[in-house]
Amino acid sequence: MTARAWAELLRVSALFTVPGDALAGAAASGRHPNGSTALAVGASLCLYEAGMALNDWADRAEDAVDRPHRPIPSGRIAPGAALAAAGALTAAGLGLAARAGRPALAVATGLAATVWAYDLRLKHTPAGPAAMAAARGLDLLLGATATGAAGRTTGPGAGPDPAARGSVLGALPAAGLLGAHTYAVTAVSRHEVHGGSTTAPLAALAAVTALGAAALHTRRARGGEPGTARGTTARTENGRGGERGTAPGVTAQTERARGGEPGTAPETTAQTRRERRGAPGAAPRMRSGRGGDRSLPRPAHRPSAPLTVTAPGLLRTALTGSYIRTAAVPLLHAALNPSPPLTQRAVGGGIRAMIPLQAALAARTGAVGTALAVMGLVPIARNLARKVSPT
């Protein structure tokens, strides 16, 4: 057993598509990455590599015919060693998730169960692509859960942060987009050995286009700007309705501002009514409608608001363009010529395209720093892909 053999077994070039899941989940939850996010990244890496080792162990008989150069059929790694590595990596991933809190451990347990079910049972069934999509979505939710659970309280009555559940709910759309991309790539990967399918690449190409359009839409956090912390929502609500615990006098003061001081003389009220109706004998006034005074001509059209170009918007557009270009070009080639080499290249492009997609999902919430950090993994993944195939 050599380091090269283990690198091929674990597909280390695809490993760098994993950290962006947890980071995109943290951004989608409206929180900044923290120590628990780092634990989620570590758990994701371990569970991903566990799935890679288990995949080759489960497919060792099939690979002996279709891919005899793989580490297990070529004899460079023993089947028992691959299975033991899968078990050890799964245990390590769950251990890291447990340190991030019980909610994160629950999500990681579901992720590990999905990975093992896919490799041992679901891979060659119609439910295979859906299982892979669920695994990627759960990986993103693991980052959101761990980041949200970092605010848990201590002492008597300790429990998760009340905002943690909202953080996970806010990450669901991003998890759905990432899962949809994974589904499309997995459907194409079923034909990478023998080729011959144009339907799967064309369907994946359509999915990539739709996902790119969805990623361009800005996701606003509840009650605030994109990427605003949830604490801002409370401040916004307080700004609308007053601080909780505000003295009743403040509310009364507001009511007085609307309807006048309590105890106002009836003459004042009557005078106000006369002023609204006009003096006796005066010409009746034109009533105002919703569009203003009816006696005035209405404008033919309302002036449109000027387009605002912002740096986060430009970054989001650039990242989305990088995602579409990375995934769509090899898919188009595979659709035009569904040979095994071009289909494998399309699968590899779909795997690498996850990084700019994760960055775009982070950027659309306003997490510019997180998006740039995720994109920093692209050159590393590209260089490793030249040495070790990600498929």
**Per-residue pLDDT tens digits for 252-290:** 444 444 444 444 444 444 454 544 554 454 444 444 444
**Beta bridge partner(s), residue 199:** none
Residues 23-33: tens digit of each pLDDT: 999 999 888 99
| pLDDT attached to residue 148 | 85
What pLDDT score does 7 carry? 94
Q: Calculate the alpha carbon distances from 33 to 178, 240, 245, 371 in Å.
A: 19, 30, 32, 12
pLDDT, residue 289, reads 47
Distance CA 15, CA 93 (A): 14
- Three-state SS annotation for the chain: CCHHHHHHHHCHHHHHHCHHHHHHHHHHCCCCCCHHHHHHHHHHHHHHHHHHHHHHHHCHHHHHHHCCCCCCCCCCCCHHHHHHHHHHHHHHHHHHHHHCCHHHHHHHHHHHHHHHHHHHHHCCCCCHHHHHHHHHHHHHHHHHHHHHHCCCCCCCCCCCCCCHHHHHHHHHHHHHHHHHHHHHHHHHHCCCCCCCCCHHHHHHHHHHHHHHHHHHCCCCCCCCCCCCCCHHHHHHHHHHHCCCCCCHHHHHHHHHHHHCCCCCCHHHHHHHHHHHHCCCCCCCCCCEECCEECCCCCCCCCCCCCCCCCHHHHHHHHHHHHHHHHHHHHHHHHHHCCCHHHHHHHHHHHHHCHHHHHHHHHHCCCCHHHHHHHHCCHHHHHHHHCCCCCC
- What's the average model confidence in pLDDT over 364-370? 93
User: What average pLDDT does the chain have?
Assistant: 81
Q: How much is the pLDDT for 297?
A: 53
Per-residue model confidence as pLDDT tens digits over 114-159:
999 999 999 999 999 999 999 999 999 999 999 987 654 333 444 5
pLDDT of residue 151: 53
Token pair of 386, please?
Answer: 């030249």
pLDDT for the residue numbered 162: 53
**Cβ atoms of 168 and 22 closer than 8 Å:** no
What is the rounded distance in angstroms from the CA atom of residue 207 to the CA atom of residue 215?
Answer: 12
pTM of this structure: 0.76
Q: What integer is the mean pLDDT of 317-342?
A: 96
The pLDDT value given to residue 197: 86
pLDDT > 90: what percent of the chain? 63
pLDDT value of position 315:
94
| Encoded tokens for 113 | 């169960």
- Quote the CA–CA distance of 15 and 126 in Å, as a whole number: 26
pLDDT in tens, 205-250: 999 999 999 998 865 544 344 444 444 444 444 444 444 444 444 4
- The span from the CA of 33 to the CA of 308, in Å, is 29
Write down the residue that tokens 């490993």 correspond to: 15
For 299, left (φ over 0), alpha (ψ -120 to 50), or beta? beta
Q: Widest CA span of the chain, in angstroms?
A: 107
Q: What is the pLDDT of residue 342?
A: 95
Using an 8 Å Cβ cutoff, are 189 and 201 in contact?
A: no
- The encoded tokens of residue 233 equal 């929502």
The answer to whether the beta carbons of residues 174 and 343 sit under 8 Å apart is no
Please tell me the number of Cα atoms within 13 Å of 222 on its side-chain side. 13
Q: For residue 158, give both structure tokens.
A: 């300790």
Contact of 338 with 198, CB cutoff 8 Å: yes
- pLDDT of 175: 96
Residue 261: the pLDDT is: 47
pLDDT-above-70 percentage for the chain: 72
Residue 375, CA distances (Å) to 3, 139, 239, 379, 390 in order: 27, 18, 38, 8, 18
pLDDT at 302 over 90: no
Quote the radius of gyration of the chain (alpha carbons, Å): 29
